[in-house]
Structure 1
Amino acid sequence: MTEALILLGMFLMIAIGVPIAVSILASALVGVWLLNGHLGFLNAALSLYDGATSFPLIAIPLFILAGALMNTGGISTRLIGFVSALIGFVRGGLAMVNVGVSLFFAEISGSAVADVAATGSVLIPAMKKKGYSPRFAAALTSSSASLAIIIPPSIPMILYGALSDTSIVRLFVAGIVPGLIGAFLLMALSYYFAVRYDLPREEGFSLCRLWQATREASWALILPVIILGGIFGGIVTATEGAGLAVLSALIIGLFIYRELNFGRLYHALLDGVNQTAVVMLLVAASAVLGLYLTETELPQRLAAGITDITTNKFLVLMIINVFLLFVGMVLHGAAAIILTVPIFMPLVHEIGIDPIQFGILITLNIALGQQTPPVASVLITACSIARTDVWSTTKTNLPFIAVLVLVLLLVTYVPAVPLWLVGVFYGP
C-alpha cells in the first residue's frame, strides 16, 4: 500500500507541473526514508552518484552533442541534398526524402528530437512550398524521426541497455531490421498519398546532379560507416563510438565544410549541455527510485501478480504494450524507460522474453509516445516548425502512427524480426 501511495504521489507531482526528475527523486527519497529512516539517505546519495557515472551512459551526452554539431556544421543539409538527388524524382519524392534523411541523421545522432529539429527546419518549409499541407509535412517528419531511433545508434537503447544490463551493441543490431521495415512502409504510404492527392515530383533524375550531391555529402555519408562500422566490428564500444561521432562531426564541420564557426560551436555545445542535463538528472534520480523498488521487492511482486493471471508470453506482452503506450503518452521517453525497466525486467526474465527483443519493444513504444499527445515531444517540435495545430496534425498523423504500431506488433509477436540479425552476427 505504501509503495502505491509513493508512486501515486510521484505521478500527481508530475501532473501539476513539478519537473519529472524532481518528482521521481522526491518520491524515492520519501520511500527510502520510510523504509530505513535517515540512514537510507546515505545509500540514496551513493545511488544518485553511481546512477549518473555509469560508463555506457557517457554515450548519451556525446551522441546528443554529435547531433547538435551535425545540425550547425552543414552535415544535415548535405545529407538532404544527397537523398533528394537519389530518390526525389518519384511522385511525392520529397516525402520519401524526408524518411531517408531521418534514417541517415539518426545513424549519427541517435535522437528523434535532434532529428526533427535538424531535418524539419529544412524539409518542412520545402514541403510546404511544393504544395504539401503543413499538417502532412509535420506528421511525416515527426513519425519518420521517431522511427529513426530504432536504427542504431539509439539513445533510448543505450539507456535501456545500461538499466537492464543488456548488450547495447546487440540492441543496435536488433534495431536494424525493424527500422528498415518501418522506413519502407512509411515510404510506401507516402507514395500512396502522393498518387492519391497528386503531390509533385522534384526535379527529374540526373546522374550529374546525383554525382555532385554525392561529392558534397561524401564526408557526411562516411560518418555512419565510421561509427557503426567501428561499433559492430568490435573496434570501439558504443560509448567510444559516440566520442568518435563527436570528433568526426567537429572535424568535418570546422575544417572540411567550414560552416561550424566558434559562434555556432558555442550554441551547439550549449544545446548539447541543456539536453544532457535533462536526461542525466533523470538517470540519477532513477537510480534512487531503483534502490527503493529493489528494497520493497515491488517488481518481483508485480511479476508474480501478472503470472498468477496468465503465463502466456503473448498475453503478458500485450499487457506490457498497453501499459507502456499509456506511460509514453504522459511521460517523456527517458523518464518512461527509467520508470518501467526496473519494474518489468523481473517479469521479462520469469516469462522467458528475450531482453534484446524487449529492448526494441520498449524503444518502439517510446517512438509511439513521441507521437501521441499530450506529451508528444517530437510531434510538438514538428508542429512548431510547421506552425500547425498539434491536435489536427495528430489526425493527419494517424496512418503514420499505424505504421509504428504495425512494426511494434511484428517485434512483439514475431521475435525473428528483431533477433534474426543478432543471430547472424553473434550466433543463437
Structure 2
Amino acid sequence: MLMAGIFAAMLIMICINIPIAVALAMCGVLGLLFTEGTDSLVTIALDMYDGSTKFSLIAIPMFVLAGAIMNAGGITDRLINFVSAIIGFIRGGLAMVNIGVSLFFAEISGSAVADVAAMGSILIPQMKKRGYSKEFSAAVTSSSASLAIIIPPSIPMILYAASANTSVEQLFVAGVVPGLLGAGGLMLVAYLFAKRYNFPTEDAFRLARLRETFMDALPAFTLPVIILGGIFGGYVTATEAAGLAVLASLVVSAWYGNLDFSHLRRAMLDGGIQTAVVMLLVAASVLMGGFLTRAQIPQQLAEGILSITTQQWAILLILNFFFLIIGFFLHSAAAIILVIPIVIPLITAAGIDPVHFGLVVTLNLAIGQQTPPVASVLITACSVARANIWEVSKVNIWFVGVLLAVLMLCTYVPSVPMFLVEYFYR
C-alpha cells in the first residue's frame, strides 16, 4: 500500500511539471521517513553525493564535451564531405550521408540529443534546399541520431552499467553490431523513400574527390581509433577513453585551425546543463533506491514474475513491453535510473546476462526517444526542421520499425550482439 502511494505521489508531481529528479528525491525521502523514521534522513546528503561521484559517471561530461569540440572545430563538416563523396551519388544520397555521419558522430558524443542538434542544424536545411520534405528530413535525422545510444560510447550505457554494477566496456562492445545493423536498415528505408519520391542524387562518384575528402578527414578518423581501440584493446577504461576523446578532439581541431570558440563556449554550457540534469537524477535515485531496497520491492517483483513464468524469452518479452511503454513517458536517463535497480534482481534470478539485458534496455530507450509525448530527440529534430511532430511521426514510423526489428533480433538471438563480447572478454 505504501509503495502504491509513493508511486502515485511521484506520478502526480511529474504530471504537474515538477522536475523528475525533484519528484524522485521527494518520494525517496517520504518512503524512508514512513518506513524508518527521521533517523534515516541524517545521511541523505552524503548518500546523494556518493551516488553521483562514481568513477564511471565522469565519462558523461567528457564525451559530451568531446562532441561539442568536434562540432565547433570543423570536424563535422569534413566528415559530411567524406561520406557524401562515398554514397552521395545514390538516389537520396544526402539522407544516407545524414545516417552515415550520425554513425560516426555517435562514436564521439554518446548523446542522441547532441547528435541531432549538431547534425540537424547542418544537414536538415541542406536537405530541404535540395527538395526533401521537411518531415522526411526531420525523421531521418531523428532516427539516425538514436544510433548514438546504441553505438559506443553511449551515455545511457554508462548509466546502466553504474546502476546494474556491470561492465561498461562490455556494454560498449555489445553495441557495435546492433548499431551497424541499425544504420544499414535505416539506409535501406531512406533509399526506398528516395526511389518512391524521386529524391535527388548528389555529385557523381569521382575517385579524385573521394581521395581529397579522405585526406582532409584523415585526422578526424583518429578519434574513434583512439576511443574504441583503447577500450577494446584493454588499454583504457571507458572513463579514461572519455578524457582521451576530449584531448584528441582538441588536437584535431587545432590541426584544422578553425576552432570556433564562441560556438564551443555555447556548446559547453549546453553540455554542462545536460550533464547537471543527469547527475541530479543519479543523486536523487540513491534515495529512491535506498527506500526500494529496504522495502524489498525488487525482490518482490522478481518473485511475482517468476511465479508466472521462468522462461527467459517470456521474461524478456514482458520487460521489452514494459520498457517500450515507459519510453513514451520518461527520458532514457530517468528510465534507467528509476527502473534498473528494481528489475536487476529479476534478471539475476532468471539467469539473463546483465550485459545482454543492458543492450536490450538501451535499444528500447532509443525507440522511446522517437515516440511522443516525451520524445526528446524527435522534438529536437522537429524544432530544427520547423515541422509538425505528428506529421514527422507518420514518416518516422518506418525508421522506428527498423529499430524495433534490431531490438527483436538482439533480444532473441543474443549471439548477434554478444559474440564480440565473448571474443574480447570471455
TM-score interval, smaller chain? over 0.9
Match of 1:260 in 2: 259
- Offset at residue 42 of structure 1 (A): 2.3
Tell me the C-alpha RMSD between the 2 structures: 1.1
SS at match of 1:260: coil
Q: Sequence identity, in percent?
A: 60
Q: Distance in 1 between matches of 2:188 and 2:152?
A: 22
Match of 2:216 in 1: 216
1:43-102 CA-partner distances (Å, limit 9, x unpaired) = 422320111100000001111111111121111111111111111111111111111101
Say whether residues 1:101 and 2:83 are aligned partners: no
- Offset at residue 177 of structure 1 (A): 0.9
Q: Distance in 2 between matches of 1:364 and 1:103?
A: 15
SS at match of 1:202: coil
Match of 1:424 in 2: 423
Match of 1:393 in 2: 392
- Offset at residue 148 of structure 1 (A): 3.1
Q: Map 1:32-181 onto structure 2 (within 5 A).
A: 32-181=32-181
8 Å Cα contact 2:161-2:167 kept in structure 1 = yes
8 Å Cα contact 1:68-1:271 kept in structure 2 = no
- Offset at residue 155 of structure 1 (A): 0.6
- Offset at residue 212 of structure 1 (A): 1.6
Q: Distance in 2 between matches of 1:398 and 1:47?
A: 42
8 Å Cα contact 2:72-2:261 kept in structure 1 = no
- Offset at residue 147 of structure 1 (A): 2.4
1:201-253 CA-partner distances (Å, limit 9, x unpaired) = 11000111111211221121111111111111111110010011111112222
Match of 2:185 in 1: 185
8 Å Cα contact 1:47-1:291 kept in structure 2 = no
Match of 2:302 in 1: 303
Q: Distance in 2 between matches of 1:28 and 1:319?
A: 26
- Offset at residue 261 of structure 1 (A): 4.1
Q: Distance in 2 between matches of 1:246 and 1:40?
A: 40
8 Å Cα contact 1:150-1:176 kept in structure 2 = yes
Match of 2:344 in 1: 345
8 Å Cα contact 2:63-2:108 kept in structure 1 = yes
Match of 1:194 in 2: 194
Q: Distance in 2 between matches of 1:272 and 1:350?
A: 38
**Letter aligned with residue 293 of structure 1:** L
User: Which runs of structure 1 show a deviation greater than 3 angstroms over 4 or more consecutive aligned residues?
Assistant: none
Q: TM-score normalised to the size of structure 2?
A: 0.98
Q: Distance in 1 between matches of 2:185 and 2:359?
A: 18
Aligned residues: 426
Q: Distance in 2 between matches of 1:400 and 1:270?
A: 32
Q: Distance in 2 between matches of 1:296 and 1:44?
A: 17
Q: TM-score normalised to the size of structure 1?
A: 0.98
SS at match of 1:330: coil
8 Å Cα contact 2:137-2:385 kept in structure 1 = yes
1:245-291 CA-partner distances (Å, limit 9, x unpaired) = 111112222x2122224333322321221111111111111111111
Match of 1:372 in 2: 371
Q: Distance in 1 between matches of 2:334 and 2:229?
A: 30
Match of 1:30 in 2: 30
Extract unaligned runs of 5+ from structure 2.
none
